[in-house]
Amino acid sequence: MRTISRSAVALSTLALASAGLALGAGSASAALTTYCDGDASGVTVPGDLVVAEDTSCVLTDVTIEGEVRVQAGGDLLVTDTSVTERVVVQGDAYFDATGATIGGNVVSQGGYGVYLDASAVGGSYVGRAGEDAEPFLYSYDTAIDGRVTVAQGLVHLQTVTVGGHLTSENSRYTDIIDSTVSRDLTVTSAVEGTALCGSEVDGVATYTGNAGVQIGTGGALIDCEDANYLGGDLTIWDSTDGVDVSDNIIRGDLAGSGNAPAPTGSDNRVRGEAGGQFAELTPAAATMSAQSSTQDHQQELDGKRAERRGAAEEAAELSGPAHLL
């Protein structure tokens, strides 16, 4: 068997580095790491892709055959792009995907935000808390095959399908609109409240310690015209700013306690038993109106997205072609 000399290996490594590629540990299937600063389209990256700290990368119709890492303060905008493995977004970094396919997880380590539109995630979404951060998960028309776990920030999911459990903790708000959760739904400590509208939850739904909870069309938090279907129990505990459960089909039990003021609701079909504070619901006062709307939350998130996306596009344009090959 022929033996390659150390000098030949060193020269090969140097050649790769000079072409913008570096050998790295990377993912199990990827032996190369490509750094992106600028814009590129219509190419294949034969390994991992990294957006370095405080740089911007804009990709269109690109195939990435490894994983993606967006380092602190970096921005990655992708359109009609596929990633074979996971995407990791570090603190104050931003990931914006339209028409994308991601084979693994999307992980936000307290990043600025993640936007997913008309995309498919083969793994889970994991949003971890960050110091002095208010990260967001903002998604439309997207399928996430695994679970969704959010530990902090702003959550707005509309026409989204989640294949696993959905758990949101310590968000400012959590909106789930016209979406499907195939397993359990748990929302805890949403400081401005949480709403479920026109959606299907196939497992158990549990709400604990939120400022306010709106399940269905009651209008306590947002304007909602569509009913929900819940395949298991619905339990609501210790809400501090009102609860309304209206116009829902609940195949399990409806229960909970410690909610102040007392819950309101009407026109529910509960297949199990209604107990605790939910045994005898009465409709909310006719004068009650929504405190905000889904459009308010969309406008806030659209603004945060537009500001960061605009700056990223400008920075990528100044950097010029990314020369990924």
In tens, the pLDDT along 204-240 reads: 999 999 999 999 998 778 889 999 999 999 999 999 9
Q: What is the pLDDT of residue 31?
A: 58
Q: Which of 58, 49, 54 is nearest to 71 (CA)?
A: 54
* Percentage, residues of the chain above pLDDT 70: 88
List, for residues 246-301, the tens digit of each pLDDT value: 999 999 999 999 999 999 999 999 999 999 999 999 998 754 444 555 678 899 99
Confidence of residue 12 (pLDDT cuts 50, 70, 90): very low
Please list, in sequence order, all residues whose beta carbon lies within 8 angstroms of the beta carbon of residue 86, skipping any fewer than 6 positions away. Answer: 27, 67, 68, 102, 103, 104, 105, 106, 107, 123
Query: Which 8-state DSSP code applies to residue 79?
Result: E
Average pLDDT in the chain: 89
Strands 48-51 and 68-70: parallel
Top pLDDT among 288 and 243 is at 243
Task: Please tell me the distance from the alpha carbon of residue 218 to that of residue 299, in angstroms, as a whole number.
Answer: 22
What percentage of residues in the chain have a pLDDT greater than 90?
Answer: 81
Q: What's the angle, vertex CA 62, arms to CA 57 and CA 66, rounded to 5?
A: 85
pLDDT score at 132 = 80
Residue 291 has what pLDDT? Answer: 56
pLDDT at 137 over 80: yes
pLDDT tier at 15, thresholds 50, 70, 90: very low
Tokens 């306690």 belong to 257
The predicted model gives 140-149 an average pLDDT of 98
> On the CB side of 180, how many CA atoms lie within 13 Å of its CA?
10
pTM here is 0.88
Q: How high is the pLDDT of residue 325? A: 72
In the prediction, which pLDDT does 7 show?
A: 36
Q: Are 116 and 133 in contact (CB under 8 A)?
A: no
- pLDDT of the residue at 294: 62
Instruction: Label residue 30 by pLDDT band (50, 70, 90).
Output: very low
* Residues 24-36, mean pLDDT to the nearest whole number: 64
Q: What is the mean pLDDT of residues 32-58?
A: 97
Task: Give the dihedral of Cα atoms 22, 316, 27, 93; nearest 10 deg.
Answer: 130
Q: Are 118 and 137 in contact (CB under 8 A)?
A: no
Q: Is the pLDDT of residue 13 over 50?
A: no
pLDDT digit string (tens) for 68-119? Answer: 999 999 999 999 999 999 999 999 999 999 999 999 999 999 999 999 999 9
- pLDDT of 175 above 90: yes
In order, the DSSP letters of 95-127 are: EEEES-EESS-EEEES-SEEEEES-EESS-EEE
